[in-house]
Structure 1
Amino acid sequence: MKTIAVLGGGYAGLRMVKRLTHEKVDAHIVLINDNEYHYESTQLHEVAVGNKEPSDISFDIRAVLPDSVDFIVDTVTSIDRDKQQVVLKHSQPVAYDYLVNALGFESESFGIKGVDEYSLSFNNIDSALAVRDHIEHTLANYATSHDENDLHIIVCGAGFTGIELLGELVERIPVWNKQYDLPQNGITVDCIEAGKTILPMLPENLSSWAVKFLADHGITMHSGTPITEVRQHSVVSNDKEFPGNIIIWTTGVQGSHVICDSGYAQKRNRVVVENNLSVKDHPHEFLIGDVAAVPNPDSGRFYPTTAQIAVAQADCAAENIVALLAGKPTHDFQFSSVGTVCSLGPGSGVAEIDQMGHWKFKGHKVGLLKRLVNDRSVLELAHVKEMLASR
């Protein structure tokens, strides 16, 4: 019996296993993941500021897997592609006939001085909790330090994650003001972004509305301001310096370091895959999600690394493995977006939806849309029970 090894229990990896088991493939499926649980990475920013707890965005992987799937909780250190083995930190190597690499993302510093030493980022539950602990410790410290920089929060990057984090901060700051008996309007938030346009993936009227919403709630945006250095108590952009003792880095992500460590031809730990999502000269090896650079045949550019696209890639790769097992030809990846939803805290946001027409939303309606998106995400990976538990 053939063995299919799936690396990573994120959106792409879990969706892959669900599709393969649904198809009842005649193969031994092995899922390898760092943790016993899956977490909704698109909601990590809510944990980072304390608006949600880890249990609100996670569920037990074993509970949603069929008994036929072999689940290994361990860390992938590298892939021996010649021997067709996955090398693990604590267990014996896992041999495979088909490999699906969906190992996910890591934060990207772009080589900017001081980023790793003096800023915090979040790409999993532990790092999100570390951000929360740092924020709360620093704000509490103001009572004895009287250092205004303890009340200055700097968010580096105004991409999707950065903007959603700012929205959560708007919601949380009044709670912190009361909790730590802080001066009125004492907490300040600066967002520093190299690009001149905020949320360029959305229509201009929606992105402008989001920027105005944040400004109206005390967030100061600095677009067209590239970060040149991060220091212990400030962020520098050429000749400008922004002081603050809470520095959160959200400027970008790269694929898992396992890609580079395993000798792939890559850029930012992403591998350019074939149109059917396999790796060149390795037709039984598929890369999906954050480790894959997938060309968009219409634009010639690579698709962005979103949860929506990762799930669609998992569906395509699963269908292609089923085809290969049956001796049939594979098909190319095609994607049609259902839209974009950007939350600005639990009660507001902006959204563009391409379902049964083209719809644009802003304000309180987007809170409900975001919940529907989150519910759909859990259902695509697990069951109704997990969806209800995440509410």
Structure 2
Amino acid sequence: MNKQTVVVLGAGYAGLKTVKQLQKKNADLEIILVNKNDYHYESTQLHEVAAGTEPSTKICFNIKDVINESKVTFIQDTVTKIDRDAQVVTLESDKTLNYDYLVVALGFVSETFGIPGVDDFSYPLVNITTAEIARKHLEATLANYQKSQDVRDLSVVVCGAGFTSIEYLGEITNRLPKLAQELNFPEDKVSITCIEAMPTLLPMFSEKLGTYGINVLKKRGVEFKVGTPIKEIKEGAVVYEENGELKEIEANSIIWTTGVKGSPVIGESGFEERRGRVMVESDLTVKDYPNVFMIGDVSAVMDEASGRPFPTTAQIALKQGEYVADAIVAKVNQQSVAPFTFKPLGTVASIGNNAGIGNVLGKEVKGYIGSVMKKNIINKSLLEVGNTKMLMKKGRFDYYH
């Protein structure tokens, strides 16, 4: 029997977990991993880089440090097209890859919802580069106040109040006192506003937990505007609607964290998708293509309990990667494949380095315990997509403050 070729696109949580599981198998496979960078980054921690509380090196590691190069061929390139019928992937370098099995784990991009000015005047947190740009801009703008005396330089607006937004606000409010000393600006004049279109904040948590988390941030000086959809981003201002009236908040630092969507390659390759996500079959394959798996941020897996797709989280991505590796080996050996099942273990959001809120195995946690649980989750992820060496080098063990 000829060796079967498995091509994995993307080295995020889902893609890298798939490769790590496949390379452990005693299967006659040619495994090819394609990623645009030569490193993996913990996308759930981008807010730390953007706020400047952690360097980008803390949440990154070299892909070749965790794959077995005797079993896996790594190609650093960008995917431009997937042809399911010809079973060919085209890369930016014009190189083409033929496959027997394809695992699409291409990750996410920022969702602008068609709002004017987002791409031109705001700073998204979608990868290491954008997070670094956001950090440098914020620091430069705050430092500029001493010269400009322009209050907009001390005004920060965070667009959206989802997970990333809340975690970013936690980090930046933690760092602000030290930043004010370093850059010589008046901390008491800094304005931080979070604008959210939905009528409630942190709906993924109970009202009690959500209120606790928001109150922590309010005590640190964050102002929340709820039920106020953003209509436009202008240079130095955010336009929003409140009670049917258009209003503006002036700010020279505008952070865009309203949401994400799957890679545009999905739609451009002709997949039936919504916001870059494909509704997959019970074995995570694409309808009519049993050799094409769609996982991570580009997949939509139905949660029978809620009747809606599961949120795209690192937790489900890791489970998908593990499952797909097993499924491919089973298919190669002409064995049956059980449906993918997922039971969320819980959700934890950090609010800076010393507080958090969450629901873990049905139990609510908050404050310091929430912070500890969040760090444990980060460490578990590092172990799953990295290895023990990466955990010891980049893990979070600062449990005591």
Please, what TM-score do these two structures have when normalized by structure 1? 0.97
Q: Which amino acid aligns with 1:362?
A: K
2:160 corresponds to which residue? 157
1:364 corresponds to which residue? 368
The 5-angstrom pairing of residues 1-391 of structure 1 reads 1-66=3-68, 67-90=70-93, 92-238=95-241, 239-354=246-361, 358-391=362-395
Native 8 Å contact 1:154 1:246 kept in 2: yes
Any unmatched runs of 5+ in structure 1?
none
Native 8 Å contact 2:176 2:187 kept in 1: no
Per-residue Cα deviation, 1:244-271 (whole angstroms, up to 9, x for no partner): 1100000000000111111111111111
Superposition misfits of 4+ residues, deviation over 2 angstroms: none
3-state secondary structure, aligned to 1:265:
coil
How many residue pairs get aligned? The number is: 388
Q: Distance in 2 between matches of 1:84 and 1:227?
A: 42
Moved more, 31-40 or 84-93: 84-93
Q: Distance in 2 between matches of 1:177 and 1:64?
A: 39
Q: Which amino acid aligns with 1:197?
A: T
Q: Which amino acid aligns with 1:348?
A: A
Per-residue Cα deviation, 1:279-328 (whole angstroms, up to 9, x for no partner): 00100000001001111122221110000011111122222112111111
Native 8 Å contact 1:74 1:91 kept in 2: no
Native 8 Å contact 2:7 2:101 kept in 1: yes
Per-residue Cα deviation, 1:337-359 (whole angstroms, up to 9, x for no partner): 111110000111111110xxx32
Per-residue Cα deviation, 1:50-109 (whole angstroms, up to 9, x for no partner): 100111111111011112100111111111222211111125211100000000000000
Q: Which amino acid aligns with 2:388?
A: V
Any unmatched runs of 5+ in structure 2?
396-401
Q: Distance in 1 between matches of 2:9 and 2:41?
A: 15
Q: Distance in 1 between matches of 2:351 and 2:12?
A: 24
Per-residue Cα deviation, 1:176-209 (whole angstroms, up to 9, x for no partner): 2111211241211000001111111111111110
Q: Distance in 2 between matches of 1:382 and 1:305?
A: 20
Q: Distance in 1 between matches of 2:93 and 2:187?
A: 51
Native 8 Å contact 2:180 2:186 kept in 1: yes
Q: Which amino acid aligns with 1:60?
A: N
Q: Distance in 2 between matches of 1:170 and 1:106?
A: 26
Q: Distance in 1 between matches of 2:126 and 2:306?
A: 29
3-state secondary structure, aligned to 1:324:
helix
Native 8 Å contact 2:53 2:171 kept in 1: yes
2:398 corresponds to which residue? none
Q: Distance in 2 between matches of 1:11 and 1:184?
A: 38
Moved more, 103-112 or 16-25: 16-25
Native 8 Å contact 2:232 2:239 kept in 1: yes
Q: Distance in 1 between matches of 2:338 and 2:137?
A: 48
* Post-superposition offset of 1:365: 1.7
Native 8 Å contact 2:177 2:187 kept in 1: no
Please, what TM-score do these two structures have when normalized by structure 2? 0.95
3-state secondary structure, aligned to 1:380:
helix
Per-residue Cα deviation, 1:224-243 (whole angstroms, up to 9, x for no partner): 11111111111111212111
Native 8 Å contact 1:54 1:125 kept in 2: yes
Native 8 Å contact 2:195 2:224 kept in 1: yes
Native 8 Å contact 1:44 1:125 kept in 2: yes
Q: Distance in 2 between matches of 1:20 and 1:75?
A: 22
* Post-superposition offset of 1:25: 2.2
Q: Which amino acid aligns with 1:113?
A: P
Q: Distance in 2 between matches of 1:276 and 1:144?
A: 59
Q: Distance in 2 between matches of 1:11 and 1:263?
A: 24
Native 8 Å contact 1:102 1:289 kept in 2: yes
Q: Distance in 1 between matches of 2:374 and 2:356?
A: 9
Native 8 Å contact 1:121 1:131 kept in 2: yes
Native 8 Å contact 2:39 2:62 kept in 1: yes
Q: Which amino acid aligns with 1:382?
A: G
